[in-house]
Amino acid sequence: MTPGSVRLVLCLLAVLGTARPAASQVDPLLISRVDAWFADAKRLAPGEWGIAIADQRGNLLWSHNPTSPMIPASTVKLLTTGFARTVLGGEATVPTRVIATGRLHPSNGEWIGSWALEMNGDPTLERLPGTGPTFRELAAQLRAKGILRLRGPLTLASQQGPADAVYPAVWSSRHRGRYFAPLIGPVMLHENLVVVTVAPSAKIGGRAVLIGAAPRGVASLISVRATTRKGRRSRLSLQPTKDGGWVVVGTIGKGARSRSLVAPSRDPRRVAEAVWGQALADEGIAWTPSATVARPPVGSTEEILAEVHSPAFDTVASEVNRRSLNPGAELMLQWAGGRTDAAARLTEHVNAVTGIADGAHLVDGSGLSYDNRVTAYTFVAYLSRFPQTPAGRGFPFLLPPNGAGTLHTLRAGFPSSGVVRAKTGTLAQAANVVGYLGRPNGVLLVALLYNGPRTWAARQAEWRLFRLLGADGIVVPADTTPVDNGQLGSESDPSEPATDAEPAAEGSD
C-alpha cells in the first residue's frame, strides 16, 4: 500500500462517517516493507485480512480493509481488560468468605447457627500453592476464632446472584466442556479443572496408583481402574461419573513415568464440597455435613467469620492476557458488567473510547464466540485512546511481552523482551495479533486480523511482520499516551524514556 492508498482509506473513512485519525507523516521505508510483507502473506494465507498500522496517536500509516468487521477471537480480552479496569480499578479484589448467623458454643467450639461459603468467581482460588487464596486459609481463620465443629450441608452463596457456574450461551457447543472452556460463574475453584496424576503399579496387571490430585481434596472423587501393562506406552483417560467425580481408565506401561490428566469439572458444587471438607480436616475442624443446622440465637445478625481475597485486578488481568485464560476473562466481564447484558456494556465502552459507533459488536468477554466482530481500525483507535483515560495508565503492561505467554515464539529477532506488548487470538477460522510495538521513533499500534482456513500460515506471517518492524525496536514506554514530539518517521526521540507461544488447540487462545 502506497501513501496515496493511505490517503484514500482516510477519505473513505470520512465518507463512512466513522471517527478517523488525522493525516500523518508516513515513513516510506515502513510502507515498502509492509507492502512486500503483505504480498507474501496473502499468497501464503489466502482469506480475509483486516490490517491497521498506526502511530501512537492512532494516525493510520498502513491499512488493508481497516473497517471490515472481523472475528477477533481472544484479542477481545484486551478490550475486556480495559472495560473492567475502568469500572473496578486496578487494585480491586474479589472476596471469598464464610458468612454466618449464630454464636460459638463456649465449651465445645461448635458453631450454633447457620453458615455458608460465599464464592464470587475468583479465578485464582485454589490454584497452585502461593498463586491464589485457598479454602484452607478460610478454615485456619475459623480455627483461630475457636471454631472446632460445624454442622449442616454446605450452602453456597454469592454477591452476584445465584451461586452457580454455567456455559455462556454464546459459546459454540463444540467448545463447551473442553479444558479451555469450563463452566463459568461464582462457583469457580482451580479454574474449574481437575488434575489427576497416576503412576504404574509395581507389578504387571495391577491397578495404576493415584499419586496426586488437584485441587487438594478432589482425590475423594477419583477412582482408578486403569491397569499396568508391559512396556512404556500408556493410554489413559479421565472419564466423568454420574456422581460428579471421575474415573481413570486405560493402561499405563510399567516402565512409564507418571502421567497427569486434566478434565473440566461438570459439577463445581460437588468439587467445592470435597475441597472444603479437606480444608476443614487439615485444620482439625470436625464437619458433619448431613446434620441439620441449629437455629441461631434470637437477635443474631449475619457476620463474616473468615475472608480471603484474590490478587489485585491488574495482577489477574495480566495473567488472563498472558495465558489467554477464557474463564478469567469471562469472570472479569461479570465483575464489571454483571451477569446479564455485560457484553452490551463492553461494546458500549469500546464505542465510547474509540468514538466509532459500529466498530465493535461483542457478545462475550473472552472472544471464544464466533459471533464477535471488531474492525482493525477500532483496535488501533482503542490502543491509542484508552491509555489517555483515567483508567488507562500503564495499559500496555497488562498485555504479555514478546517471549512470554502466547507471545513465547517471539523471542528471537528482537533486541529485548518488551519491544512488543500484544494479545493474540486463535479460533478455527481466525489468527489475530493486536498490540503495541516499540520503535526508536515512537510506538506503533498494530492490528493484524486474519479470518480464513490457513490460520497457522497467517500466524507465522504475523510474527514475521512484527520481527521485521521491531528488529531495531525499543521497550514499549511505561506511558504510551500521545505527546507532541513529532510524527513517526521523523528523527525525534521516543515520547518517554524506556522503562523497565502460541497454543495449537482450537479455542485455547
Least confident of 32-46, 344-358, 474-488: 474-488
Question: Does 29 have pLDDT greater than 60?
Answer: yes
Grid cell at residue 120: 464470587
What is the structure's pLDDT at 493?
Answer: 26
What is the spatial distance between Cα 506 and Cα 76, in angstroms, rounded to a whole number? 16
Helices (H), 283-435: 313-323, 326-337, 342-354, 376-385
CA distances from 438 to 459, 464, 494 (A): 20, 16, 9
**Confidence class for position 297, pLDDT limits 50, 70, 90:** confident
pLDDT digits (tens, 9 = 90+) for 113-148: 999 999 999 999 998 766 899 999 999 999 999 999
What is the spatial distance between Cα 381 and Cα 55, in angstroms, rounded to a whole number? 10
Grid cell at residue 200: 504404574
Percentage of residues of the chain with pLDDT beyond 90: 81
Question: Does 21 have pLDDT greater than 70?
Answer: no
Question: Does 9 have pLDDT greater than 90?
Answer: no
What is the structure's pLDDT at 30?
Answer: 84
| Beta-carbon-side half-sphere exposure of residue 42 (alpha carbons within 13 Å) | 12
Q: What average pLDDT does the segment 249-262 reach? A: 96
Q: Which residue did the predictor score with more confidence, 499 or 95?
A: 95
Question: Does 492 have pLDDT greater than 60?
Answer: no
What is the structure's pLDDT at 483?
Answer: 47
What is the spatial distance between Cα 496 and Cα 476, in angstroms, rounded to a whole number? 9
Q: What average pLDDT does the segment 205-225 reach? A: 96
Least confident of 26-40, 287-301, 380-394: 287-301
What is the structure's pLDDT at 482?
Answer: 59
User: What ranges make up the beta strands (E) of 171-271?
Assistant: 193-199, 209-214, 222-224, 227-229, 235-240, 246-253, 259-264
Q: Which of 16-25, 34-43, 492-501 has the highest mean pLDDT?
A: 34-43
For 242, residues 6+ apart whose C-beta sits below 8 A from its C-beta are none
Radius of gyration of the chain (CA): 26
**Confidence class for position 26, pLDDT limits 50, 70, 90:** low
Bridge partners, residue 451, by sequence? 48, 430
pLDDT digits (tens, 9 = 90+) for 331-351: 999 999 999 999 999 999 999
| Residue pair 99/450 in contact by the 8 Å Cβ criterion | no
Question: Does 466 have pLDDT greater than 60?
Answer: yes
What is the spatial distance between Cα 191 and Cα 308, in angstroms, rounded to a whole number? 17
Domains and CATH numbers, the chain: 3-90+312-442+454-470 (3.40.710.10), 95-170+267-309 (3.50.80.20), 194-264 (no CATH)
What is the structure's pLDDT at 160?
Answer: 87
What is the structure's pLDDT at 129?
Answer: 66
Global pTM value: 0.89
Average pLDDT, the chain: 89
Question: Does 206 have pLDDT greater than 80?
Answer: yes
Question: Does 2 have pLDDT greater than 80?
Answer: no
pLDDT digits (tens, 9 = 90+) for 92-112: 999 999 999 999 999 999 999
| Beta-carbon-side half-sphere exposure of residue 110 (alpha carbons within 13 Å) | 13
Q: What angle do CA 326, 213, 173 make, to 5 degrees?
A: 35
Q: What average pLDDT does the segment 364-375 reach? A: 98
Least confident of 34-43, 125-134, 366-375: 125-134
Grid cell at residue 360: 465493535
φ/ψ of residue 253, rounded to 5: -70, 140
pLDDT digits (tens, 9 = 90+) for 170-180: 999 999 999 99
For 201, residues 6+ apart whose C-beta sits below 8 A from its C-beta are 207, 208, 209, 227, 228, 254
What is the spatial distance between Cα 377 and Cα 366, in angstroms, rounded to a whole number? 20
What is the structure's pLDDT at 298?
Answer: 81
What is the structure's pLDDT at 478?
Answer: 73
For 501, residues 6+ apart whose C-beta sits below 8 A from its C-beta are 405, 406, 407, 408, 409
Grid cell at residue 198: 497416576
106 burial type by CB count under 10 A (0-12 exposed, 13-18 middle, 19+ buried)? exposed
**Confidence class for position 294, pLDDT limits 50, 70, 90:** confident
What is the spatial distance between Cα 424 and Cα 447, in angstroms, rounded to a whole number? 10
What is the structure's pLDDT at 507?
Answer: 61
